[in-house]
A and B are shown apart, each in its own frame.
Chain A
């Protein structure tokens, strides 16, 4: 993570609003457009296998899927042509988004990993520790230092939410083996 602090920012290009790595960006956008078109083709192909009960006399359960599939396929083609002809999409802007930085794929992958780990540990270690783990790892990946402060905040947050929503409001969040039997944490 030390690379983040030392990395030099390219000069701001607010005036043009262009993303720096244009060719790579184009390829990613092409993949998205083709995926949308492919989804449309898939919907069109599989809509025919939806079972139509004999009682349906007019519009059955297949008609709307055909419509949606056609729409997806058509837009996929339009977008693919558009991207190939150079019509790049305008990336969304935001208060915390720096338009001049390169995409940090490592952060994206690590955040996704933190979420996936969270999914698989909820039922094993209970919700509060899983929540603390998700918060702490996401904060550290995004640049929180020192790591133990993020972990501490995550733990407090997880236990508070468990006490408020699980204990007070009766939401059945699993407390987990470590906190089993703590009265104010279980609804």
Chain B
């Protein structure tokens, strides 16, 4: 019950008016960012990182948590209302939600997405509240080789499962590992791959790489083949009466709960994040729908919006479990949040809950509060988000470039960082163009040095005996899990791609 008391203390912190304002700021920015095409939560947190150094850690973490959650809510608005095919992360919602909007039921689709996100987000946060302390207590007993094994699992699953092509994902991961090598070796103080440039002795800043890949790379790529003319947005009927009818509620509540049940566990394992969870939920809803309903799938079934959107948000909470208790990021956004923690000299891991209980529980409490705020923010304000969607694209991407340049410049107030940003942006452009996922690169860059550290310390303990890496049962289990997760993941990807090609073709 100590945890419960700690959570209540967390609520007491978050309910402080100043922190409520920070949380509101976070979810507001997060939703706006989620609505806008071209920028995601990973990039926004990376951008805000240098700009929030003047905030105290708790406030900054609350803002970042708000952005993280808000981004998930905002994304659904875009895929439901924007009349263009979206990226594969939101393809499942777009599949049914977009069809619903075209049939004049956009408001119902938005409402079931928002309420489902709220229900699943809250349930998943409850699960996080109970699971995280438990995992942290177990994790204290893990040794160096166990952590190294966990990181190898994360490398391989992230590299192989984020993106559509396994070799390209692994290439992206390897490039990230290389960027992680640049700088001064922590254990021996030797410079590696700095090319004699003094700015590189401290390593390449993760902010520059994340912003370069996500913001500059995206802007260049969109610029290279831009959809011209104003964005086509499907109009939504006004008034709360059109949100959800009795029948919609009846058809939605079970998918919400099932989505939460699928999303949270999938989020906790390194299996590609929320993407996989939404697809699993969609497949489940389709299978469970009765005979007469199944025909509606692919033509605007509300279950196909309710389930995946719930799963999406539940997975977002699930991702926080390995991040907070093991210090293991499994998505690009989680990797950036890890960097945010580190920039405040806080190291996520099994000892985080012991060393920084106030911060952790304030973060968890802010997730509960943020969920409520997002529900309020999203349902009545949808008209405003629609207007955000209408921003002319030339101004939007010019603004993204400007803020990207600002974020990199503000790191050290040195134009060299901005030049580095441009180079990384060019790499991000090429990678997008040829189907290389960029997220594994960010994860690899952050996780690489940590893994090297663990490996070298393991071998220092065993005095160079490699078999020490596989002596603990946990490590053996982890290596065995790689095979299972990979086979399962690749199989899921296949099914997902089949689904994207022909929604009606998957059974």
Contacts and interface: CB of A to CB of B under 8 A. Distances in A.
Interface of A: 4, 14, 28-29, 32, 36, 39-40, 43, 46, 50-53, 55-61, 63-65, 68, 71-72, 75-76, 78-79, 82, 88-99, 101-105, 107-108, 111-112, 114-116, 118-120, 122-123, 127, 131, 134-136, 138-144, 150, 153-154, 157-158, 161, 165, 169-174
B178 A72 contact: yes
Contacts of B178: 39, 43, 68, 72
B86 A108 contact: no
Contacts of B431: 32
Contacts of B190: 50-53, 61
B393 A142 contact: yes
Contact of B415 (A120, A154, A169): A120
Given A96-B226, A115-B425, A143-B228, A61 B434 contact: no
B72 to A, nearest CB: 16
Nearest to A49: B192
Contacts of A29: 434
Nearest to B51: A165
Given A111-B223, A141-B223, A122 B418 contact: yes
Nearest to B462: A58
Contacts of A78: 167
Contacts of B38: 94-96
B177 A68 contact: yes
A92 B393 contact: no
Contacts of B464: 57-59
Interface stretch (B60-68, B137-145, B394-402, B470-478): B394-402
B456 interface: yes
Contact of A98 (B216, B225, B413): B225
Contact of B401 (A43, A53, A56, A138): A138
B175 A61 contact: no
Which range contains the number of B residues in contact with the other chain?
Answer: 35 or more
Q: Does more than half of chain A's interface fall in helix, strand or loop, or is it mixed?
A: helix
Contacts of B231: 95-96
What 5 pairs across the A-B complex have the smallest Cβ distances? A89-B435, A95-B37, A142-B394, A139-B398, A138-B398
B402 A131 contact: yes
A92 B406 contact: no
B400 to A, nearest CB: 9
A60 B216 CA distance: 36
12 contacts: A32-B436, A39-B175, A53-B188, A72-B174, A75-B174, A89-B435, A90-B435, A92-B221, A92-B433, A111-B401, A115-B216, A143-B226
B53 to A, nearest CB: 9
Contacts of B85: 14, 93, 95
A139 B223 contact: no
A142 B126 CA distance: 46
Given A94-B38, A144-B392, A89 B168 contact: yes
Nearest to A70: B174
Contact of A59 (B392, B430, B460): B460
Given A61-B187, A91-B435, A108-B224, A79 B37 contact: no
Interface string B441-466: 00000001000100110011001100
